[in-house]
Amino acid sequence: MDVQIEESWKNELKQEFPKAYFQQIVAFLKTERIQGKTIYPPGSLIFNAFAQTPFDAVKVVILGQDPYHGPGQAHGLCFSVQDGVPPPPSLINMYKEIESDMGVGMPPRYGNLTKWAQQGVLLINAFLTVRANEPASHSKIGWEEFTNAVIRKISEEKKGVVFILWGNFAQEKQRLIDETKHYVLKAAHPSPLSASRGFFGCKHFSKTNELLLQQGLEPIDWKLP
């Protein structure tokens, strides 16, 4: 099975692609397309997080849950939207925290986080696809087994990665991370429903940079675009 994924990741995850669960994902997506369903992100962008952040470049992991399910939004990076799409509410709250934490002004109408990804921030959703206008519609097709394998691989093969886990769903992934080798930052989700209950004031953006600097690594330039 020729999976269109960046070469370093293809090598790291090669044991996953022949497994029954992954073949079921592929079969499910093909069936959805045959049935005329619209799937986000577009096929060429399903593995965009991996394309923008090769395995050796990963310094930080931000974990999302589900791709955006509206037209033109999702492009394979969690919390990020394509050019020309205003930032959704959770991302606006992330910008507010960056401004409070770092004193960095953020763009009110720009939501493409590719710049972060290209600096080593793996922006990965637990589920990599979704049916248009149906949130969590692909949450049971096998993606979580695949993305759990991604987290385990980073934990096993790398050292000193900063894992940023916002909200209960992301924090369940803590069990996959070897905290003797890596750093875990936890807070409430930036959604408007929960941001005031521990996301605002978490200072995860400056804390991440402090942890990178302690290891002699380049900090992340969070300013956009």
* Residues with catalytic function: 66
- Burial of 184-205, coded b for 16+ CB within 10 Å and e otherwise, reads ebbbbbbeeebbeeebbebbbb
Distances (CA, A) of 93 to 83, 99, 108, 220: 19, 10, 11, 18
Which residue type does 93 have? N
Residue that the structure tokens 């209950």 belong to: 197
Round to whole Å and give the CA distance between 119 and 97: 20
Helix (H) or strand (E) holding 48: helix 48-52
| Cβ(93)–Cβ(111) below 8 Å | no
Three-state DSSP class for 78? coil
Round to whole Å and give the CA distance between 156 and 15: 15
DSSP 140: T
How many degrees, rounded to 5, is the angle at CA 174 between CA 167 and CA 55? 105
